[in-house]
C-alpha cells in the first residue's frame, strides 16, 4: 500500500493506493501551527486501522506549505518506519522544464504535469482550481513550457468581503441568472462567471502565443463548481494530483 499526501494552502488531502485503486481519501484543513506529528500519526494510523488496510510500504508527499511538511514526514517515519519521497524538479519526472527558476515551481504543479503527460495524449494544459487557480502547459514531448497563476475563486470572494465595508462573504454555488437580484447574487455571478472568463482567456492566450492546439485537463477542489461555465475544459480528473504522486513514486523508488 502506498500513502499519498498532497499538502495545499487550504487543505491536506491524504489518499491510500492499494490493489490498483486510490481509496479512502480524506481531507484535513491545513493548519500551520497547532497540529504536531503525534496528531498526524494518530490520524494516519487510525484511518488505516479503521479500514483494515495494510501498513504502507512507501509514501510520497507534494507540498506547498513547508511548515507542515516536516510534521507529516515525522509522523510517517515514526508510525511506519519509512521516509516519504518529496516531489521536486530534481527527481525523475519524465519531463523537461523550460523555466527560468524551476526551483520555485510548486510540487503540486509538477505532480499534475507528470500525471497529465502520462495519462493523456498531445499538448496539454492543466488547470487546477484550488486556493489559487494554476495553469501548466506541457507538450506531447514532455516539455513543461510554463504557466500562469491567478487568485482562486474562493479567494476572490473572500477578498471582496475583507476589503470592503458592506459586501458580505457569500457561499459560492451555481447561479440561475446572470443578473442578480440582491447583493449576494451579484457577487456570486460576478465572481464565478468572471473567474470562468479569465480562465478561458488565459487558455486562449496560451494557444495564440504557442501556436499549438491543446487538450485541457481540469482538477482541484473547486473544479465541479467551475466546470459548467468553462467550455474550453475537455476532461475533469479529480484524482490527477494523486495519479501524479503514484507515477512519481514509481519513477523514483
Q: How far is Cα 96 from Cα 85, in angstroms, rounded to an integer?
A: 20
Centroid of chain to Cα 210: 24
Q: How far is Cα 25 from Cα 72, in angstroms, rounded to an integer?
A: 16
Q: How far is Cα 138 from Cα 129, in angstroms, rounded to an integer?
A: 18
Q: Are 217 and 237 in contact (CB under 8 A)?
A: yes
Of the CA atoms within 13 Å of residue 225, those in its CB half-sphere come to 22
Q: Are 219 and 128 in contact (CB under 8 A)?
A: yes
For residue 82 the three cell numbers come to: 519509512
Q: Are 108 and 13 in contact (CB under 8 A)?
A: no
Q: Taking the C-alpha atoms of 234, 222, 226 and 186 in order, what is their torsion angle to the nearest 10 degrees? A: -170
Burial class (CB in 10 A: 0-12, 13-18, 19+), 28: middle
| Start-to-end CA span in the chain (Å) | 14
**108 among known catalytic residues:** yes
Eight-class DSSP state of 230: -
Q: Catalytic pick from 108, 128, 224, 234?
A: 108
Those residues with Cβ within 8 angstroms of residue 103's Cβ, 6 or more apart along the chain or in another chain: 89
The set of catalytic residues is 108
Amino acid at each position: 500500500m502506498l500513502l499519498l499526501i498532497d499538502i495545499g494552502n487550504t487543505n491536506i488531502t491524504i489518499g491510500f493506493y492499494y490493489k490498483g485503486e486510490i481509496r479512502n481519501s480524506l481531507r484535513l484543513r491545513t493548519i500551520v501551527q497547532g497540529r504536531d506529528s503525534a496528531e498526524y500519526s494518530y490520524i494516519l494510523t487510525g484511518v488505516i486501522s479503521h479500514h483494515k488496510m495494510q501498513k504502507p510500504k512507501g509514501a510520497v508527499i507534494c507540498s506547498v506549505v513547508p511548515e507542515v511538511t516536516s510534521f507529516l514526514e515525522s509522523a510517517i517515519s515514526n508510525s511506519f518506519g519509512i521516509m516519504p519521497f518529496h516531489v521536486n524538479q530534481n527527481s525523475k519526472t519524465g519531463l523537461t522544464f523550460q523555466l527560468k527558476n524551476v526551483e520555485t515551481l510548486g510540487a503540486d504543479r509538477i505532480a499534475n504535469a507528470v500525471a497529465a503527460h502520462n495519462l493523456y495524449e498531445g499538448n496539454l494544459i492543466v488547470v487546477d482550481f484550488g486556493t489559487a487557480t494554476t495553469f501548466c502547459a506541457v507538450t506531447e514531448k514532455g516539455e513543461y513550457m510554463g504557466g500562469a497563476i491567478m487568485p482562486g475563486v474562493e479567494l476572490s470572494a473572500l477578498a471582496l468581503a475583507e476589503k470592503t465595508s458592506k459586501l458580505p462573504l457569500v457561499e459560492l454555488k451555481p447561479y440561475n441568472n446572470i443578473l442578480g437580484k440582491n447583493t449576494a447574487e451579484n457577487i456570486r455571478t460576478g465572481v464565478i462567471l468572471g473567474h470562468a472568463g479569465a480562465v478561458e482567456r488565459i487558455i486562449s492566450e496560451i494557444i495564440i502565443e504557442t501556436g499549438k492546439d491543446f487538450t485541457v485537463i481540469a482538477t482541484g477542489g473547486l473544479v465541479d463548481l467551475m466546470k459548467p461555465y468553462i467550455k474550453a475544459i475537455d476532461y475533469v480528473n479529480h484524482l490527477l494530483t494523486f495519479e501524479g504522486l503514484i507515477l512519481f513514486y514509481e519513477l523514483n523508488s
